[in-house]
Structure 1
Amino acid sequence: MLKKTLLSFALAAQTIRTRFFHTVLSVLGIVIGVAALVSTLSLIDGLEEYANEQISQTTSLKAIAIYTKPFKTINNVRVPKENFAMLSPAQINQLHASLSQPSQPYMVVSQGNEVTMPGDTQRIGAMISGTLPTLQPNTKLTQGRTFTAEELTAQKPVALVNESFLRQRKSTSPPLGQTIRTPQGELTIVGVVASDTTRPAQVFMPASLYPLEQLRSLRVDYAFEAGQVEQVPLLKKEMQDWLKKNSPQGGEDFEIVTNEFRVEQAAQGFLVFRIIMGFIVGLSVLVGGIGVMNVLLISVTERTSEIGVRKAVGAKKRDILLQFLSESITVSTFGSLMGLVLGVLATMAFVPIVKTFAKVPFQAAYTLNTFLIISVIAVLIGVIFGTYPALRAANLDPIEAIRRE
């Protein structure tokens, strides 16, 4: 059977070679359709990679946020809860210690208030942020240092200010060692955080300086930074279990959110776009398949006597069927390969145009899935559109076929 199949494909290749120009014109629809499909899929894959890269740069995929839910829903109306659980700095440390994978906890308490400095009558409006255990990732210091573990444990009244705070004071002198007055008391400045001119004045202090009851009236964000992206689902599950066990309402007052959904949303959007564009471009491939059927029907008509002679000397119906199906698959594969090459060349020419106008580091992506899709399409077109001509050839009566000569 294998020998007959290989012989059929060899005869098909010989037939295509003897009628090359006619075959090329007949598969032109497949060439254009496949080229458009390759270009579309590779550009969409490139867009998806670019989107994922942008998401990764602007959002930490390793971050796990815990939000307090101070509201409840009654009759579709959002109303404040009379009482809800909060996590203290000590509880954050306990939660962190219970996790099986390495992570870095962060707690940020934010409020706007007036800040003054001893001997200075100027009042500065600043965002006062309580942090635990230290500043969040990617925060750069221009002067001094961050909080030490000893200062956090002993609840020392220390603080950091950002460069916008210094610009508000119109002072260029180093503020290290000076004190500032906040609603939480006097704090000693130990460092300066880098900030651009768009940032408001900020004061950072240890979150442990806030009484737990005071936290209820402030915005509090809890977050954990996982060591690896792959560890995020496990850590999220462990946090949910810990909150159910250690909070009064069984974790109902908290919501755990990760940034994986951003990547999932982007992937779903690109999948829908890929399906829609594939359907539209697939119409061109359909037209190409009709061209394959046309060339095979013409071939059956031109080779009627040949088919009759083969059947008269002992060729079986399945032999004729296999020969024309092989020819159909060979023709469609030939057209698909030409379309693949044309599609790759088209995207290579199109990407520089996109870069010129959009000014983004965009690249087309050629994935294994794209090449597998093209291979499947080539075979399907050959089988679907070659079946009718092959059956027609196989069902010819040998006597009538020879008599037509």
Structure 2
Amino acid sequence: MLKNIFIAFVLALENIRTHFFHTVLSVLGIVIGVTALVAILSLIDGMQKYAFEQINKVQSVKSIVIRTDRYKWVDNIRIKKDSLIYLTHSDFLNLKTRLTLPATCYFYAQHAGEITFKETNQEMGSGITGASASFPDYVKLAHGRLFTEAEVRQATDVVLINYFLASKLANATPIDQLLGKKMLYRDRELTIAGVMAKDEAEEAARIIIPITLFSLKDYEESPPQCIIESAKVENVLALRSQVENWLKATFQANASEFVVGTDDNRLKQIARDFLLFKVIMSMIVGISIVVGGVGVMNVLLISVTERTVEIGIRKAMGAKRRDILLQFLSESVTISAFGSSLGLVLGILSTFAIVPIIKAFVPVPFEASYTWNTLIIIAVIALFIGIVFGTYPAMRASRLDPVEAIRRE
């Protein structure tokens, strides 16, 4: 069977070589259609890539937030729960090891309380954030250092203070002299390790301490949140699935006590928009490809007429109906593949001319993108056109009576 298919394709190539210009003109519709399709798909893929690159700069779109659900619904009434289940720092570290895609993880809880600067016994109200040793980009230092993962694990008494608080405590002295000084929070003596950079929008004192310094009561009052920031926006949904599976494995029946939030609606909408655009444009261009398929059918019908005697002789010498059918279907697929391949090359070359024109009108760092999906689509089109538009001529050739065919000479 494989030998017969190989022979059929060899004969098809020979027939194309013999009628080369006739074949090229007949498949011009396929060439033009595939060229346009490749160019459009490549440009749309490039647009999608550019869009995702821009979205990657928006942190909220790449973030997954895991938080304790503080409320429950009873008879359509939202009621605050009596007790809460929450993530601990150990849970956070365990979750980080289970993520298989690149991501940055943050873990924090927020409270408010009073602090005392030991140097002057000055008391102040302050926002208090307990955090892991990984910090978002907006936490920048003016002086000192951040605390380390080892210090968080060991619940070391260190603290970072914001610039607003530092300016209040330092008075007329240089702010960097606060490093190493002590402050009290709930009878814990904390050493100032760093002063955060100045933020003009801040109008209140704020400190950051290792989250392990919080008590279980603190966790109950204000359960910690975990933020997972994906390195790539396209990995957000996969990471969310990993988080949900981890919650089910770790908390089992209590996994529903947590809310996993993402901005995936925006991601899904973008993906749907680009898919819709691709489908509509492909259907419009598909008209040219159908015209090209008709050209393939025309070539084969002419070929059947011209080769009537040859078909009759082959059948008289023992060629079966399926052999003739296979021969002409092979020619149809080969011609279609030839036109599609030529269109693929021309489509890729055309994008090199189109992209500079687009950049001349819209100054953005946009490039065409060539994916395997485009190549697979072109291969399917070639096979589809070859079979659909080659079936009738092939069946017509296979039905010729050998005696009548030879008699036409």
Question: 1:93, 1:277 → 2: CA distance?
Answer: 51
Closer/same/farther in 2, CA of residues 227 and 283 from structure 1, 3 Å limit:
closer
Q: What does residue range 2-401 of structure 1 map to in structure 2 within 5 Å?
A: 2-54=2-54, 58-59=58-59, 65-76=65-76, 79-85=78-84, 87=86, 92-96=88-92, 101=97, 106-110=106-110, 128=127, 130-134=129-133, 136-138=135-137, 139-147=139-147, 156=157, 158-162=159-163, 173-174=174-175, 176-177=177-178, 190-194=193-197, 203-206=206-209, 207=211, 220-223=224-227, 237-244=245-252, 250-257=254-261, 270-271=274-275, 273-312=277-316, 315-401=319-405
SS at match of 2:175: coil
Preserved CA contact (<8 Å) 2:60 2:263: yes
Preserved CA contact (<8 Å) 1:95 1:239: no
1:280 shift after superposition: 4.0
1:393 shift after superposition: 1.8
**1:321-344 CA distances to partner (integer Å, 9 max, x unpaired)?**
233222212211111111101111
Identical-residue share of aligned pairs (%): 45
**1:67-102 CA distances to partner (integer Å, 9 max, x unpaired)?**
12123334555x241424154xxx623424666937
Please tell me the residue identity of whatever aligns with 1:335: G
Question: 2:26, 2:369 → 1: CA distance?
Answer: 30
Closer/same/farther in 2, CA of residues 30 and 257 from structure 1, 3 Å limit:
same
Count of aligned positions: 392
Please tell me the residue identity of whatever aligns with 1:337: S
Larger deviation: 33-42 or 270-279?
270-279
Preserved CA contact (<8 Å) 1:16 1:23: yes
Larger deviation: 23-32 or 313-322?
313-322
Closer/same/farther in 2, CA of residues 231 and 217 from structure 1, 3 Å limit:
closer
Question: 2:147, 2:287 → 1: CA distance?
Answer: 64
Larger deviation: 184-193 or 327-336?
184-193
Please tell me the residue identity of whatever aligns with 1:34: V
Closer/same/farther in 2, CA of residues 250 and 86 from structure 1, 3 Å limit:
closer
SS at match of 1:372: helix
SS at match of 1:364: coil
Q: Which structure 1 residue ranges, 5 or more long, are not aligned? A: none
1:51 shift after superposition: 4.8
Q: Which structure 2 residue ranges, 5 or more long, are not aligned? A: none
Larger deviation: 3-12 or 381-390?
3-12
Closer/same/farther in 2, CA of residues 238 and 176 from structure 1, 3 Å limit:
farther
SS at match of 1:362: coil
SS at match of 1:101: helix
Preserved CA contact (<8 Å) 2:133 2:152: no
Question: 2:22, 2:95 → 1: CA distance?
Answer: 69
Larger deviation: 224-233 or 331-340?
224-233
1:390 shift after superposition: 1.3
Question: 1:202, 1:357 → 2: CA distance?
Answer: 50
Question: 1:184, 1:267 → 2: CA distance?
Answer: 50
Instruction: Tell me the TM-score normalised to structure 1 length.
Output: 0.72
Closer/same/farther in 2, CA of residues 130 and 164 from structure 1, 3 Å limit:
closer
SS at match of 2:84: coil
Question: 1:184, 1:285 → 2: CA distance?
Answer: 76
Please tell me the residue identity of whatever aligns with 2:66: I
Question: 1:313, 1:151 → 2: CA distance?
Answer: 88
Larger deviation: 363-372 or 285-294?
363-372
**1:246-279 CA distances to partner (integer Å, 9 max, x unpaired)?**
xxx9344322457899877765665555445444
**1:294-315 CA distances to partner (integer Å, 9 max, x unpaired)?**
2222332344344445545654
SS at match of 1:130: strand
Please tell me the residue identity of whatever aligns with 2:349: L
Please tell me the residue identity of whatever aligns with 2:196: V
